[in-house]
Chain A
Amino acid sequence: DSGVTQTPKHLITATGQRVTLRCSPRSGDLSVYWYQQSLDQGLQFLIQYYNGEERAKGNILERFSAQQFPDLHSELNLSSLELGDSALYFCASSVEGLAGVHGELFFGEGSRLTVL
């Protein structure tokens, strides 16, 4: 058990809909990362938050948004869903060290999104 909790585990929805994925990081971790994993695109970095602020941004579509709340949990909102958004969405957390030294990422078990 990594200590990172993601809900829901599975989600089936229709094109055009909107969903919210939730992530609770490990106790004490200030950084949350979101990744999308699909068969044809591999593991793609979407966005990172650190202590409530956006820290880094990857290939996140404009239809997607995220935030990190004061209690450090994070939500990834996916809207106007398309068939191609079907994927595993992972949240990871870490403790960022000093002087730019990054430690390991702790991954949740993912949320599997199926868009029909």
Chain B
Amino acid sequence: SQQGEEDPQALSIQEGENATMNCSYKTSINNLQWYRQNSGRGLVHLILIRSNEREKHSGRLRVTLDTSKKSSSLLITASRAADTASYFCATIKNYGQNFVFGPGTRLSVLP
């Protein structure tokens, strides 16, 4: 079973709007990471948040982490058509364990 589960599975918004994606996980983690994948391409790392952090920003991205609820959210502000992609959260539990990716959220930003 998946460690991370993104929600929603698909999201369609207009350019300029904000997009919020959520990730829930099941066990304790070392850190949680968000990745973007353009269709048929490799995944690109967006942001990493450690288990002792609650919020991080990077440009138009804002990530929050709530370890008590075992959940994270990714907010993309002022979205652009170029943000159209699939977004994945990945968690890693302990040293020597593997990164586990959720099924992803497909974001479509309409011009």
Interface size class of A (residues with CB under 8 A): 20 to 34
User: B79-108 interface mask toward A, CB cutoff 8 Å, 1 = contact, 0 = none?
Assistant: 000000000101010111111111110000
- A4's nearest neighbour on chain B, judged by CB, is B42
What residues on B are CB-neighbors of A100 within 8 Å?
A: 30, 94-96
Q: Judge whether A101 is part of the interface by a CB distance below 8 angstroms.
A: yes
Q: Judge whether A16 is part of the interface by a CB distance below 8 angstroms.
A: no
Is the CB–CB distance between B99 and A105 below 8 Å? yes
B interface size (C-beta, 8 A): 27
Which of A40-48, A64-72, A74-82 contacts its partner? A40-48
- B47's nearest neighbour on chain A, judged by CB, is A104
Which B residues are closer than 8 A to A by beta carbons?
Answer: 2, 30-31, 33, 35, 40-45, 48, 50, 88, 90, 92, 94-104
Which A residues are closer than 8 A to B by beta carbons?
Answer: 2, 4, 33, 35, 42-43, 45, 48, 55-58, 88, 90, 92, 96, 99-110, 112
| 3 closest Cβ pairs, A-B complex | A100-B95, A107-B42, A104-B45
